[in-house]
Structure formats: structure tokens, C-alpha cells
A and B are shown apart, each in its own frame.
Chain A
Amino acid sequence: QKEVEQNSGPLSVPEGAIASLNCTYSDRGSQSFFWYRQYSGKSPELIMSIYSNGDKEDGRFTAQLNKASQYVSLLIRDSQPSDSATYLCAVTPRGNEKLTFGTGTRLTIIP
């Protein structure tokens, strides 16, 4: 089982709708969770970090963490074409101390 799993997509969402991206992880003791956005040919950029159960909102982005179910999600409200990118989930497993990345979900916002 991969340590961090994401649906590779592509995920297509109409402009203005909510895009929902999901990520599951295998180490129940994982402590830190991050979402990165990566445009084609560019490097990943951090968009959200979350450390405790619940929701964290930043503008149009909401990260949700459920440690009991071992998943973290990213919601993008009012999706824009500029949100089209690959979204990487990253987790710090317990005892590893290095970020482990999922393979990413490719999101396409359809105008």
C-alpha cells in the first residue's frame, strides 16, 4: 500500500463549481499535511497546510483533515480556469520526518 494515495484524475469541473480533491494516507500517526499546486512545467507551490482535525479555510480553498479515517481533502470553491493544475498531497509520517508525496491529481476547470 502506498503511503499517500490520490486519484490521478483527470478531474474535470465546470467553472464556478466546487472542486473536491481527496488524499488518503497509511500512517495513522502522521502529523502534518500539505496541499501543493503544480502548473505544467513549473515547480510545486504550497497552498494549504493543516495539522489538526477539522476544516481550515483560506480564501476559496478549504482543507479538511480527518485523522480517524486517515484522509485529507481540498475543496476549491468558485473554481476558475486558473485553478487547472496538478494538486499534490504531502504528509509527514510518524518516525519518518520527511514529507511523502502522493502522485497528484490533475484538475481541469472547464469554462
Chain B
Amino acid sequence: DVKVTQSSRYLVKRTGEKVFLECVQDMDHENMFWYRQDPGLGLRLIYFSYDVKMKEKGDIPEGYSVSREKKERFSLILESASTNQTSMYLCASTGFLWNSPLHFGNGTRLTVT
């Protein structure tokens, strides 16, 4: 079974802090994704990566950056956290084929105060 692990289940940060969300997958997947999910807005893609050191912006990249130094790890960085970044963050991975399903981590509930 594919396992996607997000480092924190709950996180509380202050406005202006730099925040790191970590995600690790154990299936040697090329493609990894970061989404945020908010009530009524569904899943929105922030960034994705199709290979080590490769990244592409999703639909809502503003205020975020990412890092993928190793194939199994994909990090989401909030350079200066703001209250409107309070959300559920979901990491996902999939294999080489783009039409393969996504496998999600357990999510990180981030609250910025």
C-alpha cells in the first residue's frame, strides 16, 4: 500500500512566521502535490512537482513555495504566514502516469493566529 506521511497533524503558528510542512511518500512516485482544502472551495492545487528539483505552480501559489531535494520528500513553505492561510493542507503523490489516482496523506490542519 502507498503511504504518504505528513509530518504534523495539527499546527498553530503566528502571523509572520516561516512555516514548513513536510511530506514523505514511500512508493518511489515521480509526482507529488500540495493542496489546500477550505469549506465550500474544495481542493485547490498550490504546487506540484514531477521530478526532483522540478516544480510547477498550481492554481493558488501566491504566498507559498516548495522544495523537492529528494524524490520521496516534498516540502511546502509559507514564507510569512498570514491568517488567510489557515486551512487544511493535503499532500498527495502518484506514479508516472498522469491518469493514475492520487494517494493522499492524512493532512495538516494549520491555524495561523
Contacts and interface: CB of A to CB of B under 8 A. Distances in A.
Interface of A: 8, 31-32, 34, 42-46, 49, 51, 88, 90, 92, 97-99, 101-104
A98 B48 CA distance: 9
18 contacts: A34-B101, A42-B107, A43-B90, A43-B107, A44-B43, A44-B90, A45-B104, A46-B101, A88-B43, A92-B98, A98-B33, A98-B45, A98-B48, A98-B58, A99-B102, A101-B42, A103-B40, A103-B41
A43 B99 contact: no
Contact of B99 (A31, A46, A88): A31
B105 A43 contact: yes
Nearest to B107: A43
B80 to A, nearest CB: 27
Nearest to B9: A41
Contacts of A99: 102
Q: Quick one: which of B40, B41, B98, B103 has the most chain A CB within 10 A?
A: B98
B106 interface: yes
Contacts of B33: 98
Given A42-B107, A43-B104, A45-B104, A104 B42 contact: yes
Contacts of B107: 42-43
A42, A43, A104 interface centre (most CB from chain B within 10 Å) = A43
Nearest to B40: A103
A32 B41 CA distance: 22
Given A43-B106, A103-B40, A103-B41, A49 B101 contact: yes
A97 B104 contact: no
A-B pairs, top 3 by smallest CB distance, nearest first, are A103-B42, A32-B99, A97-B98
Contacts of A43: 90, 104-107
Contact of A98 (B41, B98, B103, B106): B98
